[in-house]
Amino acid sequence: MQGSAPAELDSQRTGYFSSVVQRWVSRRLPPQSRIRLGHKNVFILPTRWGLMFLMTVVLVLIAGINYQNSMILATAFLFFAVFVVHIHMSFNNFAGLTVAFHDAEPAHAGEEALVNLTVCSTRAAGTDSGSGRGTPATGDRHVAIQLGWPASTASIRYQLIHTGLPSTDQAGEPGSESELQSTTLPIKCLRRGIQRAPRLLATSVYPLGLVRVWSWLDLDIEVLVYPRPIHGEANGADAESEGDSQPDRKLRQQQPVDFDGLRNYELGESRSRIAWKKYAQQGVLYTKLFSSESADPVWIDQAAYAGRDVELQMSNLCAEVLMRDQGHQPYGLRLGKWKLAPGLGPQHRQEALEALARYPELTPNA
């Protein structure tokens, strides 16, 4: 017990220091959907190799002073000048880079959602990104910049950013955007609902690895997380069709599936269900309907799963929505006083899953 006390004290001190740093970063770098890197949001510190390099410079300087040797002193000053130039090159490589949040694709809990970002350069060729006054720059490209989530995130992925200005004889206007680049970062979805993504870490040790340049980017990213689909039996009364009893529905489902007409094609539907002959005749996409799809719609009701944990209810409802959608069976959804009219198709499925993700924060409409 006595040995664990110092460890707990160190843990408390680390947690307090971390919270202080996070509050300071939050005040200095507020959330924005589009961030341009510059003097106000870029930080620079020596790496381990940089500290060793500075120690070498100090030792060489002491030796030059001790032996009163001008060549040794000149070498020390040269090394220090290299370090200072390295700082400016590292900052210029970062400055002017703009990172913007585009969108995030929804995913089920336990899966990875894809966050789409756009990266571009917002400085003119031949212009110093730090000053913006038209002075010569060390380079008009952004190279070897890592962009990813911090180590505390469940999904640790980095994308290496290489962006620059397109080859042209005429320089662009100052502040103009060039070479728009899209990048995708996966993030682990932990639980149903709206998940706010942590700050992105942009970092680089370009060009020699003596200093590390980094910035914490809060792009105000929110990811919609659907419930994890878990199949479960309803409480006594299964989902029923309108005006249909349970035995009648089972009898209807045992009947053979026959062609029953056409309807307009919806984006995302299987190509195997497209009426290609109609398309060849009229140039319009139609989806084939079968007898099971023209039947009375099924209502998926939260009340059928009453008595269970809310998260389990949402998971059971999610599994049933996916099952009905894959079986091409029209369905409606009831969540308390909220109702989704019966329908079918990718858009209808997305509306149902979004409602399950946002429950109970739904506006009653029934």
**Does the residue 17 lie in any domain?**
no
Q: Are residues 212 and 313 in the same domain?
A: no
Looking at residue 174, its pLDDT comes to 42
Strand ranges of the sheet holding 338-343, from the earlier edge strand across to the other edge: 298-301, 331-335, 338-343
Nearest CA among 181, 97, 208 for reference residue 142: 97
Contact 259, 230 (CB under 8 A): no
Q: Over 70: is that where the pLDDT of 326 sits?
A: yes
Domain residue limits at 164: 31-226
- 189 with 253, same domain: the answer is no
216 and 250, same domain (yes or no): no
- Residue 159: the pLDDT is 63
Nearest of 46, 80, 92, 43 to residue 210 by alpha carbon:
46
Name the one residue in this structure whose structure tokens are 């190509």.
Answer: 271
Give the torsion sign (CA, 24, 25, 29, 32): negative
> Is 321 among the domain residues?
yes
**One domain, residues 185 and 252:** no
Q: Does the reported pTM lie above 0.75?
A: no
Q: Are 250 and 221 within one domain?
A: no
- Phi then psi dihedrals of residue 341, to 5 deg: -60, 150
Q: Are residues 299 and 180 part of one domain?
A: no
CB 293 within 8 A of CB 344: yes
Q: Which pair of structure tokens corresponds to residue 178?
A: 């060039």
Beta bridge mates, 148: 158, 201
> Rg of the chain's alpha carbons, rounded to an integer?
30
Rounded Cα distance between 297 and 243, Å, is: 10
* 246-291 pLDDT per residue, tens: 444 443 444 445 666 777 776 656 676 788 887 888 888 887 766 5
pLDDT confidence tier of residue 167, bands split at 50, 70 and 90 = very low
pLDDT band at 155 (very low <50, low <70, confident <90, very high): very low
Q: Are residues 106 and 207 in the same domain?
A: yes
Q: For residue 264, is it within any domain? A: no
The per-residue pLDDT of the chain, averaged, comes to 78
Give a yes or no: residue 2 inside a domain: no
Give the tokens for residue 321.
């929505």
Q: Are residue 59 and residue 162 in the same domain, yes or no?
A: yes
Rounded to the nearest 5 degrees, what angle is found at the Cα of 11, between the Cα atoms of 6 and 13?
95
Closest-CA residue to 48 (of 206, 204, 211): 211
- Report how many domains make up the chain: 2
Burial class (CB in 10 A: 0-12, 13-18, 19+), 274: middle
pLDDT for 135: 39
**One domain, residues 205 and 306:** no
